[in-house]
Amino acid sequence: MGALDTRESMQRGNAMQAQSGLFPLRFLGFGFFWGWLFLVNISPSPLLGSAQGIGDVPFEMTELAARLLFLVGAMVVSSRIACIRNWVPVAIAAGITGACVAPVVLLSDTPGIVTGAALVSAFAESALFLMWMTFFGYMKLGETLLLLVSSYAIGAVLCLAAIFLGDTAMTACAVVLPLASCAALIMARRYGDAVKEEPEHAADRGPVPVEEDAYRSLPFVKMTAGLALYSFGFALYLGIALFLSDRFLFGYVVEPTCAIALACIVLVFAKFSRSPTKPYTLYRAVPPLMGVGFAMLAVGFSQPLLAGFFITLGFLLFEVLAYNDYCNLVKADNSSLLRAIAGARLASSAGMLLGWAVGYGMQPVMEVNGSSTILAVLALLFILFIATIAFTDLDRKTLASIADDRAVQEEAEAIVPKEEFFPYFAESIGLSKREEEVLDLLLSGRTTSYAAEKLFVAESTVRAHVHNIYRKANVHSRMELMDAFDVFWSARRSEAEKSDNS
């Protein structure tokens, strides 16, 4: 092939890599974010412990309350912060403030400082999460899910490694990881611009017109309700863990461990399912996992960490599947991904804050009874309610149907029309500019008379060009010419597919 062909192939391969390849800047950068979150923003934190702010309110409750405000603000001004010139200073501010949280609390854990650090942490968490999700949310069907669970796992590994190495390593990671996540985000976006990728995500486009119907659709509402309710149930477990703190000495390792297990499950499932819509079957595993975990806590099982593992794994599984579905719904309805993800995070945070409030408020009752059984039974009944009424198997099938439609659309979009290969075929057999024009008409099924009228030349001139084309292509008829082109087109298309998959 010629130089033009080579350049086109390189540009196409680079664009595909930037748009949908799981290149390191993406899953590593988002993994840095999760590693910081696991170290700092969970209670009890492996680094900060059970830090309490004003009014003895746990760090995580204050952070969740502040996060709600920031997410509401993000939804209100989504069209402005979606513009590329506006998100960079926000990302830098998020990285810097996130890096300051742990040192500030470690230097002074007074209630006022803890509350202030929680507010700052909420801003950093909200900003970085939204920017990363809107960065890769427009990837191909299934790739968003794989990238999300891979990032979860990377963050979990970093967190567990820091815990193993001790307080100094955890403090260093708590400072470095948000800065590294911010830097990776900026570099990844510039990488996409460098290969001239067609903007597909909200942060590279201008203000995005919002179609309200997307947010009022039943699948969107049902999934948002399911995410909020499962978040509430998960927070009830955190309330039990707070009460059983003496038996949850290493409770902070449960969520990172579950993140690694989740990545293994989803990646293996995706490898053997042979369909990007098959992971929707995993929705069915959420109620049994969380139900078994709460049942174990209700009967006073001797290994509460194992019960916590089942509950956390079920919750994380629903969370990643839901975020993947938000991306599918946005792509189907051409809505604002930033607003959709902010709304999803808002629902999740609100449910978790409410669950924290209930669990925290139930502490005196559990202390009087000397048992957390009452809260565990309440949570178990709540999970049964979600599975049978709020988010049922029928809702799962609806989301799977939307994913099927998206898969068909993506397959159609991926097919390159034969006409785009006409110039490359002409170049491969050494045609002149005029002969290439005649070739286009021949392969399109036009007659020599039509070609003469179209090109404003005599019909005898067209026949002369046709003769030269046959000679250069080493064929003797139009049928043989079309067969030769089909062979060329099939070979080129196979090469393009291999390049896209590499």
Residue 219's CB is within 10 A of a number of other CB atoms, namely: 17
- What's the fold here for domain 418-500? Arc Repressor Mutant, subunit A (1.10.10)
| C-alpha triplet 126, 129, 132: angle, nearest 5° | 145
Cβ(390)–Cβ(226) below 8 Å:
yes
**Which tokens hold the place of 322?**
């839901």
**If pLDDT is split at 50, 70 and 90, which confidence band does 409 have?**
low
Rounded CA-CA distance 249/188 in Å is: 39
CA pair distance 9, 4, nearest whole angstrom: 9
Q: How far apart are the first and last CA of the chain?
A: 20
Mean pLDDT in residue range 243-263 = 86
pLDDT band at 119, cuts 50/70/90?
very high
- Across the range 208-237, mean pLDDT stands at 77
Specify the higher pLDDT residue, 9 or 270: 270
The type of residue at 480 is E
Per-residue exposure over 294-309, b if at least 16 CB sit within 10 Å of its own CB, e if not: bbbbbeeeeebbebbb
Model confidence pLDDT, tens digit, residues 267-321? 888 777 666 556 778 888 999 999 999 999 998 887 888 999 999 999 999 999 9
Instruction: Centre a 10 Å sphere on the Cβ of residue 123 and count the other Cβ atoms it contains.
Output: 20
Say whether pLDDT at 205 is over 80. no
Average pLDDT over residues 346-358: 93
Q: Is the peptide bond before 44 cis (omega within 30 degrees of 0)?
A: yes
Amino acid 168: pLDDT: 94
Read off the pLDDT of each residue in 81-100 and give the average, rounded to a whole number.
80
Cα–Cα distance measured from residue 168 to residue 398, given in angstroms and rounded to the nearest whole number? 48
Residue pLDDT, tens place only, 459-473: 889 889 999 999 999
At residue 397, what is the residue type?
A: K
pLDDT at 279: 74
- Most confident option among 151-160, 182-191, 217-226, 335-344: 151-160
What pLDDT was estimated at residue 285?
92
pLDDT one-digit tens code per residue, 47-90: 888 888 898 888 888 999 999 999 998 888 766 665 545 678 88
Q: How many whole angstroms separate alpha carbon 261 and alpha carbon 152?
A: 10
- pLDDT score of 207 more than 50: no
Of the listed ranges 39-43, 222-226, 325-329, 439-443, the least confidently predicted one is 325-329
CA atoms of 28 and 185, how far apart (whole Å): 10
Using the predicted structure, report yes or no on whether residue 17 has a pLDDT greater than 90.
Answer: no
Q: Which residue has the tokens 């960065």?
A: 135
How is residue 266 written in tokens? 């989803």
Region of poorest pLDDT, from 49-63, 126-140, 169-183, 217-231: 126-140
Nearest alpha-carbon partner for 123 in 153, 92, 165, 84: 92
Neighbouring-strand partners of residue 403 = none
**CA distance to 69, 327, 353, 389, per residue, from 222 (Å):** 23, 15, 20, 10
Quickly state the pLDDT bin for 25 (edges 50, 70, 90).
low
- Average the pLDDT over each of 224-228, 292-296, 453-457 and give the range with the smallest value: 453-457
Angstrom distances, CA of residue 246 to CA of 48, 79, 243, 315: 17, 47, 8, 23
Element (DSSP H or E) covering residue 197: none
Whether 164 has a pLDDT exceeding 80, the answer reads yes
pLDDT at 4 over 80: no
Cα separation, 364 vs 330, in Å, equals 44
Average pLDDT of every residue of the chain = 81
Eight-state DSSP code of residue 123: H
Mean pLDDT over 444-472 rounds to 84
Annotated domain spans of the chain: 18-195+214-414, 418-500
Query: Amino acid letter at 330?
Result: V
> Could you give the CA distance from residue 150 to residue 263 in angstroms, rounded to a whole number?
6
The pTM assigned to this predicted structure is 0.75
CATH class of 18-195+214-414: mainly alpha
- Same CATH fold, 418-500 and 18-195+214-414? no
Percentage, residues of the chain above pLDDT 70 = 80
Q: What is the pLDDT of residues 143-154, one digit of tens each?
A: 788 888 989 999
Q: Which residue has the tokens 């053997």?
A: 272
pLDDT at 237: 92
Q: Which residues are paired to 58 by β-bridges?
A: 52
Contact 34, 151 (CB under 8 A): yes
Work out the average pLDDT over 201-219.
Answer: 49
- Amino acid 345: pLDDT: 93
Among 151-165, 216-230, 261-275, name the most confident range. 151-165
Cα 433 to Cα 442: distance, rounded to the nearest angstrom: 14
Distance between CA atoms of residues 210 and 229, nearest Å: 26
Query: What is the rounded CA–CA span in Å between residue 24 and residue 19?
Result: 13
How many Å is the maximal CA-CA distance in the chain?
A: 103
Rounded CA-CA distance 219/265 in Å is 25
Strongest mean pLDDT among 11-15, 69-73, 362-366, 456-460: 69-73
As a whole number, mean pLDDT of residues 398-411 equals: 70
pLDDT of residue 349: 94
What letter represents residue 416's amino acid? V
Q: Which residues pair with 49 in a beta bridge?
A: 45
Q: CA–CA separation, 72 vs 78, rounded Å?
A: 10
Residue 220's pLDDT band (boundaries 50, 70, 90)?
Answer: confident
**What pLDDT was estimated at residue 212?**
45
